[in-house]
Structure formats: C-alpha cells, structure tokens
Structure 1
Amino acid sequence: MADSPHIADVTAQDFEAQVLQRSHEVPVLVDFWAGWCAPCRALKPVLEKLAQEYQGKFFLAKIDTDKEQPLAAQYGIRSLPTVQLFRNGQAVDSFMGAQPERTVRALLDKHVARESDAIVRNALAAQQAGDLDQAATLLQQAVESDPANDRAKLALAGLLLARSQIADAEALLKSLSPDTRDSAEAAMLKAHMEFARLADGSLALTELEKKLAATPADSETRLHLSARQVLNGQYEAAMQNLLEIVRHDRKFRDDAGRKSLLAVFQLLGNNHELVKKYRPLLASALN
C-alpha cells in the first residue's frame, strides 16, 4: 500500500498541499494515528483497503501524531485514532476509534463523487435558470438511478417544497440514510417543510397582511402570515411576527410562536445575523 497513488504519509511541511489544496479536488481522509495505538493498527488496513477500492475518489493522508504533535494539536486531536474528512480546505466530517468498514464506507459515500452527481449538477443549473420542470425531471432521474445518493434526495426535496409538494418532500426526507437524516441540511429542509405546512391552504400573503392590520390580536393570522413570509424569504418580518406571538399570546397553539421562531433559527443557521439578533430578543421575551 505504501506505493499507492491514493495514500500518503503527510507531515506539517506538506499538509497544505496534500490535504488542504487537494481537498478542493477530491475528499481527503486524514488518519491521525500513532505506532503504540492498537486501535490505530486495527483501523489502518480498513482505510487502506477502501482507498484502493475507491480508486482515487478520495485520498488517504496518514499523520503520525508522535512526530507531528503541533499539527495534531492544531486540529484538536485528543483521542487516537481520529479520522477527519476534509473538503474544500475544511474538516467537514470525522469519527474516532477503530470503526468497522461499513461505518467508514458510509462516511465516505456522503462525500465522494458519484456518477449521478453530474445529473444533480445539471438539475441545479436548470433550477438556477428558472426551469423548475427540467430540474425536477433530472433530480428524479438521479434519485431513481442512484437511490443511495442523499445529495440528490436533498436537492429534490428542496425543489418539491418550493413547489408545495409537501408529502412527496417528506417521503424523500424519510428515505435518507440515518446520518444524512440528522444533518444540518436535512434539518433546514424539515424546518422549511413545517412552514410550508402552515402556509398550505391559507390566504395569500397580501390578504393575510390586510387581515392582520384589521385584527392585530389575531395570532392565527399572524402565524400564517409568518409562514408565508418565511417561504417568501422575508425572514425578519416573519421573526418579528413570531416574537409578537411569544410576547402577547404565549399559550397560543401550545407555544407555537416560540417553536416556530426556533424553527426559523434552524432554517437560517446559528451564524446568521438575524438569528444573532433575535435569539436574545426571544430570551428576553421568555423571562
């Protein structure tokens, strides 16, 4: 295995080229190990076997932590073996311990290129160009030809939600692998789905705005309006409406204002400026 083009011992001197730069081309699996570590020795043949089997779809970088202690410290390695997967210059996935082959394979399959990914790229290009029918057709083709491609399923679920095909999107999300089902992207789609459910069958956005202006204390209308606003990308307006429900009608629909506001946080992500703004406002309203 030492002569494999898909495997290399990496040091601090070539980490930039072998891991960070290469990860812009293919996923790089970095094995932090040590010679005295028995689980490391057990994991080594599993990783090397997969590197050979995948034939360049990922690169295996092996780092001896006894020789590269500063590099191990830089990436927070406290237990051996620790394996991190790098993509586009960042560690995006990891595991610790001598995991079985099926576990390592499942992690890799979330990130390595698949033949159906080309179909997904074409579908996303069609969606970007506004051809939603073509995008849906291509994504359906990708899912049918490669049922294990969770990336295709996530993309199709997002498109279905944009077209208010809620039941179909929900079925796709339920068919995801367990790891992807718990991912941040899936969580965002689930949050989006809840707002799509709320908006389904309600009045149009402008009609809801008129109704709320006439009856400001109507929490049901305010909730439906916030759902429409979320789906329309008017996140701050939606968050302000949900915060009003928390402040003035906390018991409405079993605390629907707070739960829906948390769903918007999940949809946008913790680092979004609006989440940073409204999280303390929510905390204040709850006290």
Structure 2
Amino acid sequence: MSDSPYVFDVTAADFAERVLQRSQQVPVLVDFWADWCGPCRMLAPVLDGIANSYGGKLLVAKVNSDAEQALASQYGIRSLPTVKLFVGGAVVDEFMGVQPESVIRELLERHVPRESDGLRAQARAEAEAGHADAALALLRRAREDDPDNHRIDLDLAELLIAQGQAAEAEQLLRALPAKYAEDETVKRLLATSQLAAQQADAPPLDELREHVAAQPDDLAAREQLAAACILAGEYEAGMDAYLEIMRRSRSYNDDAGRRGLLAAFELLSGDDRVTPYRRKMFNLMH
C-alpha cells in the first residue's frame, strides 16, 4: 500500500467513479499489477514518486489483476505490469514492463496539463476569434514562463506559419530537442513551413497557373505554384508541378522538385496517393 495521497487501489466496483469519472478532471495512470510480479514491485515506487512530483495534477490507480481478473480482461491485459493512462474517461497512452522514469515522464508530458497550458488555451481562443497578434503575444509569454513545455512551440509554429512567418516557425521547430525529430506533428509542421516559405509573396493561385502556362520555363514560378496548390489541398496538382521541376532541372534550387515532393509526402503520410508519386520521383532520380 502506498503512502502517497495521490496513489490508491481500485476495484471493478469503483473503477468507473475513481478512474473514468476522475479522469475527466485530472489524468489517471492505472497500474495493473500482481503480488507475484517482481517487475511490478520495482515499478511501484517509481510511479509513487512521479505522482508525488505532480502534486495532484496526476493520480495513480492500482489494480490487482489477480483479484480483478474481469477488469484486467476488459482492458486487454496480457502481461504485467501494464500501465494505462486515462484522460477524459478513455485510454490515451500506455506502456508495459518496467520503464525508466525519464521514459514515463516523457509519455506523461504529452497529456498532463501544465499551468502554461492555460495561456495556450487563451491563445487558441484568440486565434479562433481572428485575433492573431493577441494569440502570438500569449504564446510568446507562455514560452517565456515555461520554456520546457514544447507544446507551446508547436502551437506557436503553427500560428506563425498561418501568419506568413514560415522562416521563424521553421527555426523554432528545428531548435526543439532531438527527441522531437520523429514526432508526427513536428514533421508535418516542418513540411508545411517549407512549402509556405516557397510560396511566400507569391501572386494568387489562378495568376500563378496562368503565368506558368504562358512561361513554362519559369521554374521559380512553378515552384511557387506547386507549394500553393498543396497548401490549398490540391495535392495531385502540386505534386505534378514538383515532378515537372525535377524533369526540367534537378539542379534548380538544390533539387527543389524532389524536396517539395518529400514535404508533400510528409503531409500526406499514409495516404494512398503517395505511392504512385513516390514511384515517379524514384524513376526521375534514376
């Protein structure tokens, strides 16, 4: 039994109240364990320490899987320890086995609110109301107050891109810690910032189309057209334009056609449209 006020035992009888309902207000980390499980005993004090460090902003609920077999079965527990994080009444993340404290904290950072998240919410409301300058000011203030909350950086980068400040957004994203290099949101924002930078100060999309049709050798305009199409959701037209740049000149702007296609693929990650265009790009490269 833990001495922490933020760690408690739960059963099937009170799981809905103490986990599902309470997770509407504060994240609840549910530790499925058993008496005979050595790794469970190793993990328990780590979870206690983490819970204490959050001071009530995170709770840890303990489920004895031997005594609560139906509950363990309901949540698909196959090995112990298994730890599931509940937010808003649903599982949002999980891990199995004994993990280093740093790994567990990294997982929690994505979900446990911080004081600076209040400013993020205010900034989001300002942005939705069309007050971009106010939103930017709030995010910059939040970043100064809590530089370790990198969710602020992502919000700020997204808003900067929307306001035509793609270069600053890219600089902000590339300064993130190395662990964010493979983060899907970061990769999407980097791709978007690259495309936004390519079509900065470009004329309207219809004018770009007319210009490229009249002057097909103007690769700078074609690059702007490709980026503008993709940012407007016209992915095939944009990728076709990048392929045409590759066909005409691999040396133009440091292989801009290929780099643009890679950015488009990032935005379309998992989309069936990527495969044929990736094949076409590969054929042009070889």
Structure 2 length normalisation: TM-score? 0.80
The answer for the alignment partner of 2:83 in structure 1 is 83
8 Å Cα contact 1:239-1:261 kept in structure 2: no
> Structure 2 stretches of 5 or more lacking a match?
none
- 1:263 corresponds, among 258, 261, 266, to 266
Is residue 106 of structure 2 the alignment partner of residue 106 of structure 1? Answer: yes
Is residue 8 of structure 2 the alignment partner of residue 8 of structure 1? Answer: yes
Report deviation, 1:204.
4.1
The answer for the alignment partner of 1:141 in structure 2 is 141
Report deviation, 1:155.
0.8
The answer for the alignment partner of 2:60 in structure 1 is 60
Report deviation, 1:178.
4.5
Report deviation, 1:262.
0.8
Count how many residue pairs are aligned between Structure 1 and Structure 2: 276
Give the letter for the 1:200 counterpart: A
Distance in 2, Cα, partners of 1:82 & 1:178: 27
Distance in 2, Cα, partners of 1:188 & 1:260: 8
> Structure 1 stretches of 5 or more lacking a match?
none
Q: What is the CA RMSD across the aligned residues, in angstroms?
A: 3.2
Distance in 1, Cα, partners of 2:89 & 2:175: 30
Report SS of the residue matched to 1:142: helix
Which deviates more, 12-21 or 133-142?
Answer: 12-21
The answer for the alignment partner of 1:153 in structure 2 is 153
Report the CA distance shift for 1:176/1:255 in structure 2 as closer, same or farther (over 3 A): closer
Distance in 2, Cα, partners of 1:201 & 1:43: 55
Percent pairwise identity: 43
Structure 1 length normalisation: TM-score? 0.79
Report the CA distance shift for 1:192/1:257 in structure 2 as closer, same or farther (over 3 A): closer
The answer for the alignment partner of 2:47 in structure 1 is 47
Distance in 2, Cα, partners of 1:114 & 1:141: 14
Larger radius of gyration: 2
Distance in 2, Cα, partners of 1:188 & 1:12: 41
8 Å Cα contact 1:65-1:72 kept in structure 2: yes
The answer for the alignment partner of 2:186 in structure 1 is 186
Report SS of the residue matched to 1:84: strand
- 1:238 corresponds, among 235, 239, 243, to 235
1:126-183 superposed Cα distances (whole Å, 9 cap, x missing partner)? 1111111111111000000111111211111111122232332223223434444533
Report the CA distance shift for 1:243/1:230 in structure 2 as closer, same or farther (over 3 A): closer
Give the letter for the 1:35 counterpart: D
Distance in 2, Cα, partners of 1:44 & 1:177: 29
Report deviation, 1:78.
3.9
Report the CA distance shift for 1:258/1:154 in structure 2 as closer, same or farther (over 3 A): closer
Report deviation, 1:244.
6.2
1:13-40 superposed Cα distances (whole Å, 9 cap, x missing partner)? 4444433333222112122222222121
Distance in 1, Cα, partners of 2:207 & 2:92: 44
8 Å Cα contact 1:160-1:166 kept in structure 2: yes
Distance in 1, Cα, partners of 2:74 & 2:223: 46
